[in-house]
Amino acid sequence: MRIIAILLFLFFTGPNNFGQNVFDPDLKPYLDKAEPVFPFGVASGDPQQNGVVIWTKILDQNADNQPVSWEVATDTTLQNVVQLGTEDIKEKIAFTVKIFVENLSPGTTYFYRFKYKNTYSPIGRTKTAPDGNPNKLRFAVVSCADFQGGEFNAYGHIAQRTDIDVIVHLGDYIYESGAGQWGTKRNRPVASRVHIPASTCTSLRDYRTRYAQYRLDAQLRECHRLHPFITIWDDHEISNNVNAGEKGPQWDKREAAARQAYFEWLPIKDNPEHSIIRSFSFGNLAEMWMLDSRLEGRSPQAKGLHDPNLGSMERHMLGGKQTDWLLNGMANSKARWKIMGNQVIFSPMHDSKVFDRRPALRMDRWDGYPAEQQHIFDFFYQNNIQNIIVVTGDVHTAWAFELTARPLDKGFYDPKTGKGVIGAEFVTPSVTSFNLDELLGTLPRLVAAIGKRRFKKNKYNPHLRYVDLIRHGYFTLTLTPEKAQADWYFIKRKDRVDLKIGKKKRRAINYNGNHISKK
């Protein structure tokens, strides 16, 4: 036993870099193969018109209170440095380094790097938000990237692009589940993509390990290096189907750990509350509100359509404070396009002919909180707020809805004339997480095709203008003064690294328009 104790002591305190002891030991073989000082690369995010967050992590057991320097330049070789500084590394935040670089110019591409002792990080590329009247803005929109579900080819494809202003990640950046505990038998992981730690994440070390494992993925790492991110969490960064009603000392500790790890590892601007609620301005072209529909104010999910409390005004998705912030911001915005960055489907949707035996799927989206959903819609109509674009993740599948409060009310919404339409909702497929064909198993594509036809029937969802239930990938949202356009890029496969696109689809809505079209 004494020998074992000595070996453990040497492992965690000896000269090897892994001695920081912030990760599960099972991650060590992967770190041993990685770059020794900056194995997680660099990242940037939360672009403002005059600044942006830059991020890295140092892997050195003696890094606590040691300085790391950083520099930002306008050229790829970092000769024209415009900002630089130093920051002390802190063990209490897992030796991560996050700087909000200020006094930058709007709408400008910058290059940056870090230096620790005599070692430089990779050079990152980022971009600030534009001001004034930009002619075009393009987001890449992603969500639901289960490491065990396959290779992150969607990230790899985005990393190659030079026409992206910012990546919007709508949640499920990691999955908290243990090895092989999420998904279906058809979606079991290959040996090289099994979660570490093997158990479900509950402690700070668990969550840190899981983020580290994801960030060792070369495609995600390159995506972070080349594009700024705007991120929000959904449920799997914390716990499946989590809500704000979770209580108790053990839960409070777990939630605090999940929040802390998220803010350590993501290039999101720090705040004392570890809140993801914030807004972004892109000149007069667009304004975006990023929401927290999980931890801020969400009531526990209802039990189904027959739950007597389903329609209660006391049940919330966002909660009063966040809802008021959102609605007041949208009412006062001068931007042409008003974007809601949102985790779960906002549009009313009739799915009983597809998911009649799965009420939990319906109760976890906005339809499970109809009073607050209707309150928000009513505010939009009463204040004549139009040109709203809702971008959504969570459901692992691709959708486009004409945004209307009561799609089955023929006196309120007319799919032919566009009466009652105030914008559009575009939903991104998953990067890797299982979708309908992988969920169903038996004759999956046939069953998915039947489900698609049922969803698209006018008597069920007349406002639904596009749906794909079986592909993975992402979409881009391209905004101009005249149009908001969604382009879906579906990867060809995810069982191996392959950046080929198997299919593309497009839907768009004109400014002040009330129809989604294919052009």
CATH number at residue 71: 2.60.40.380
97 and 144, same domain (yes or no) = no
Mode of pairing for the β-strands spanning 81-88 and 67-73: antiparallel
CB 405 within 8 A of CB 377: yes
DSSP code for 191: G
Angle between helices 204-215 and 249-265 (to 10 degrees): 30
Of 431, 511, 433, the residue nearest 478 (C-alpha)? 511
Domain endpoint, select from 127, 161, 184: 127
24 and 173, same domain (yes or no) = no
Of 188, 234, 178, the residue nearest 428 (C-alpha)? 234
Query: Whole-angstrom Cα distance, residue 386 to residue 213?
Result: 42
Query: How many domains does one find in the chain?
Result: 2
42 and 168, same domain (yes or no) = no
Is 132 part of any domain? no
DSSP code for 284: B
Looking at this protein, which amino acid is placed at residue 214? Answer: Y
Query: Whole-angstrom Cα distance, residue 77 to residue 83?
Result: 14
Contacts of 174 by beta carbon, 8 Å cutoff, 6+ apart: 145, 147, 207, 210, 211, 214, 236, 237
67 and 178, same domain (yes or no) = no
Give backbone dihedrals phi and psi of 284, rounded to 5 degrees, phi first.
-80, -5
pLDDT of residue 23: 94
Domain endpoint, select from 127, 159, 188: 127
Q: What is the mean pLDDT of residues 108-130?
A: 98
109 and 167, same domain (yes or no) = no
Is 369 part of any domain? yes
Q: Which domain holds residue 497?
A: 137-517
DSSP code string of 416-430? TTTBT--EEEEE---
308 and 441, same domain (yes or no) = yes
CB 164 within 8 A of CB 139: yes
Dihedral angle at the C-alpha atoms of 464, 469, 472, 473, nearest 10 degrees? -10
More confident residue, 446 or 56: 56
> What residues does 124 pair with on adjacent strands?
112
Looking at this protein, which amino acid is placed at residue 379? Answer: F
Report pTM: 0.94
pLDDT in tens, 354-409: 655 555 568 999 999 999 999 999 999 999 999 999 999 999 999 999 999 999 99
pLDDT of residue 180: 81
pLDDT in tens, 141-178: 999 999 999 999 999 999 999 999 999 999 999 999 99
pLDDT in tens, 241-271: 999 999 999 999 999 999 999 999 999 999 9
Dihedral angle at the C-alpha atoms of 131, 137, 143, 148, nearest 10 degrees? -110
pLDDT in tens, 296-311: 999 999 998 889 999 9
Query: Whole-angstrom Cα distance, residue 183 to residue 425?
Result: 26
Sheet holding 423-427, edge to edge: 278-282, 286-290, 337-342, 388-392, 423-427, 398-402, 464-468
First to last CA, the chain: 70
164 and 249, same domain (yes or no) = yes
Percent of the chain exceeding pLDDT 70 equals: 90
Query: Whole-angstrom Cα distance, residue 310 to residue 324?
Result: 22
pLDDT of residue 435: 86
Is 307 part of any domain? yes
Is 166 part of any domain? yes
CATH number at residue 349: 3.60.21.70
Is 234 part of any domain? yes
300 and 350, same domain (yes or no) = yes
Domain endpoint, select from 69, 103, 127: 127
Burial (0-12, 13-18, 19+ Cβ within 10 Å), 272: exposed
43 and 144, same domain (yes or no) = no
Query: Whole-angstrom Cα distance, residue 441 to residue 477?
Result: 32
Would the pLDDT of 15 be above 50? no
